[in-house]
Amino acid sequence: MKPISLLLLILLSQNSFSQVIDTSDIFDVDKNYRLILKPAVERRINKMIAPIAQKKLQEFKDRNHEMLQSLTVQQNQDEIQFTEDTIRINEFLSEYTNSYSMAGTTMGMNWGESKRLDVYDQLLNKYYQKSLLILQPAMKDKLITSQKRWLDYYNKEKKFIYDLNDFGNQNSSLYNWGYYFEMMEERVLFLKDLYNRSFNGTKTYIN
């Protein structure tokens, strides 16, 4: 795709932003006209953060050795995987922000926060599905109802917060993303606790 065509697609699909920016150096546009990182850029970032993420993960294991040993094999693996996932997204966005000037634009910062939210959305679904497998039937039904209600609340709150700002500048955009992420992170951590059997009801978990 020629640079001018890419820029045109971006401007058409990102009309809520006030800046006119040529992002062709690190971004492509997918078939739904959404910004995506070029594969080469994503590979470079992942390569750069790999040793840092590995070091931080090992530090976590060393620091929490006794806690990890007290878990079942599956819970141990899940705890390590959760930590690795969260370390990687934080390091990914740090490298992205520090290495590319485009990341400091309204468009670039919004892409980064969207990326973070996407990762946590995947974690949300992962721990929701895992929790369903270990709950007693009646409690499983209650979780399904709870999750539906939470998703309805989350989507309505996002719409309300979006309406409070016009997404016309960096501050309002990032203010919104922060609220979206807080809601998502809180629910992810709740479901993770549920899966880790942190609750003590006699009718909660399958033995």
| pLDDT(189) > 90 | yes
Domain locations in the chain as residue ranges: 38-99
Per-residue model confidence as pLDDT tens digits over 8-66: 334 334 444 444 444 557 999 989 888 899 999 999 999 999 999 999 999 999 999 99
Q: How far apart are CA 51 and CA 207, in angstroms?
A: 40
Select the more confidently predicted residue: 76 or 164.
76
The answer to whether 188 and 121 are in contact (CB under 8 A) is no
pLDDT of residue 11: 38
The angle subtended at Cα 160 by Cα 156 and Cα 165, nearest 5°, is 150
Q: Do the beta carbons of residue 184 and residue 154 sit within 8 Å?
A: yes
Tell if the pTM clears 0.85, that is, is over it: no
Task: Give the C-alpha separation, 185 to 182, whole Å.
Answer: 5
Query: Is 180:117 a contact under the CB 8 Å cutoff?
Result: yes
Q: Is 149 exposed, middle or buried (0-12, 13-18, 19+ CB in 10 A)?
A: exposed
Question: CA-CA-CA-CA torsion for 131, 134, 137, 138, nearest 10 degrees?
Answer: -60
